[in-house]
Amino acid sequence: MTSLPAVPLTLEGASVLHQMMRFRWTAWKALAPAQRDAALEEAAATLGAMQGATHQTAVYSLIGHKGDLMLLHFRKSFEELNQAEIALARLRLSEFLEPTTSYLSMVELGLYESTLKLYAGLAERGIEPHSAEWNQEIETQVSRQRQAMAQRLWPAIPDRKYICFYPMDRRRGESVNWYQVPMAERQRMMHEHGTVGRRYTGEVQQIITGSIGFDDWEWGVDLFADDPLVFKKLIYEMRFDEVSAAYALFGVFYVGLRVEIGNLPALLKP
């Protein structure tokens, strides 16, 4: 197995953009009420048009100093994400929104277990890695998996009260390096890690996105729940998994409450 590729196969789906914003309250309060109403009406119309079967946008009111609003966009492509970003930038309301950060990624499903079985089977048949026959076999298997997991690759933004978003990396330190661990060991650790998450089924919905080559971290994690305490319990328990304890690095955490588009006027009332 040591001569086989070290990279696990992945499936990619929806393109995802998180936009964190700070609201310029002083300038907003200086507007005449009619101007504020017009800006909110325009924003509601644009955001309302961003709801569909294959394109969705959700608004969250962030808790803490890291920003006031977070906009979460699920689209079919990066091009559509760019179009959504431009459409929002054209709004009068955008004059009062100051970006604090953003995160670009793509829904990703890792196939560690399937990859190990597939690579081993191809090796037993004497098929040379990265040969034309190898690549064709890989594409056939991936296509089947892509169809079977379409619902997870193209999810709806969960209709839950709270969101917790954070980016993360796998460690590449002096004593441990995730990318030098044999695939079978990585698969074992990821399986154990997933076992913890499955115990919280029903309490929290998780969407993992890949951002290698797209943003500063390697993955983004979105957790959705009606009780924010589950975020703490789930993430704390996962800290004790080998994969997290030894190899995980975490970025900034953002927690917010879902805001229905029709409730924007109440949220932004001076």
Of the candidates 119, 162, 166, 200, the residue annotated as catalytic is 166
Distances (CA, A) of 9 to 30, 119, 139, 211, 234: 54, 10, 10, 15, 26
Reply yes or no on whether 166 is catalytic: yes
Buried b or exposed e, range 118-149, using 16+ CB within 10 angstroms: bbeebeeeebeeeeeebeebbeebbeebeeee
Burial class (CB in 10 A: 0-12, 13-18, 19+), 61: middle
CA distance 145 to 114: 9
* Contact in structure between 209 and 157 (CB atoms under 8 Å): no
Q: Are the CB atoms for 71 and 19 separated by under 8 Å?
A: yes
* Half-sphere exposure (Cβ direction) of 181: Cα atoms closer than 13 Å: 20
Going by C-alpha positions, the residue among 259, 261, 258 that lies closest to residue 43 is: 261
CA angle 266, 269, 270 (to 5 degrees): 165
Who's near 242: CB < 8 A, 6+ residues apart? Answer: 189, 192
CA distance 120 to 111: 14
What is the distance between the alpha carbons of residues 214 and 52, in angstroms, rounded to a whole number?
25
Which residues are catalytically annotated?
166
